[in-house]
């Protein structure tokens, strides 16, 4: 296995950013190399499985980054509703700062490539499962965690499409009420 280098990490981070904004099929290897400042030969040296391997690693890295941010926000929050509000605020700010190009770090790849690539589909599935597990741990309910995750994913897609943070605000308000309710 090739040794992990700064060039390799730069390529994975660059790919994660490009896949997030453009999707898998619209992002070319040459673009990843150019924007990552990597020499041409480094692609297949570091990723003998090609673009598909790079995508799996980029999805995994981006998913872990958001999972860790989600866990930190939920762990620091006085309530699940306030913690989720902070997460939605962070995602909304990233979306706005990118000119509404960079929504969920996984969804664009999941929608674009999972029908064609089992390794990419599995990586996306694993990331979503890790996010749901973090939510379930803090909410105490796996079904509620699934609802929260689906609501946030849908809100990000609508916000990106509408170029408005209003869908995130709506989820923040309505999901916040649900999270603050006492368990039945």
Give the model's pLDDT for residue 181. 72
Say what percent of the chain tops pLDDT 70.
96
Give the model's pLDDT for residue 56. 98
Closest CA to 106 of 146, 69, 157: 157
All residues at 6 or more sequence positions from 134 whose CB lies less than 8 Å from its CB, including other chains = 67, 70, 71, 74
Q: How far, in Å, are 2, 52, 53, 123 from residue 49 at the CA level?
A: 12, 6, 5, 15
How confident is the prediction for the chain on average, in pLDDT?
92
Once rounded to an integer, what is the mean pLDDT over residues 67-87? 88
Confidence (pTM): 0.91
């Amino acid at each position: 296995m090739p040794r992990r280098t700064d060039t390799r990490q730069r390529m994975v981070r660059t790919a994660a950013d490009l896949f997030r904004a453009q999707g898998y099929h619209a992002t070319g290897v040459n673009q990843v190399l150019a924007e990552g400042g990597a020499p041409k030969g480094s692609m297949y040296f570091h990723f003998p499985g090609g673009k598909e391997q790079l995508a799996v690693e980029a999805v995994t890295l981006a998913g872990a980054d958001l999972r860790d941010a989600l866990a930190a926000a939920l762990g620091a929050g006085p309530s699940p509703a306030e913690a989720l509000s902070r997460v939605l605020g962070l995602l909304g700010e990233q979306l706005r700062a990118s000119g509404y190009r960079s929504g969920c770090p996984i969804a664009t790849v999941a929608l674009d490539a999972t029908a064609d690539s089992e390794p990419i589909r599995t990586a996306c599935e694993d990331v979503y499962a890790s996010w749901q597990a973090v939510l379930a741990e803090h909410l105490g309910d796996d079904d509620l965690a699934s609802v929260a995750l689906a609501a946030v994913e849908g809100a990000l897609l609508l916000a990106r499409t509408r170029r408005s943070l209003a869908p995130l605000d709506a989820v923040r308000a309505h999901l916040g009420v649900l999270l603050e309710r006492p368990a039945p």
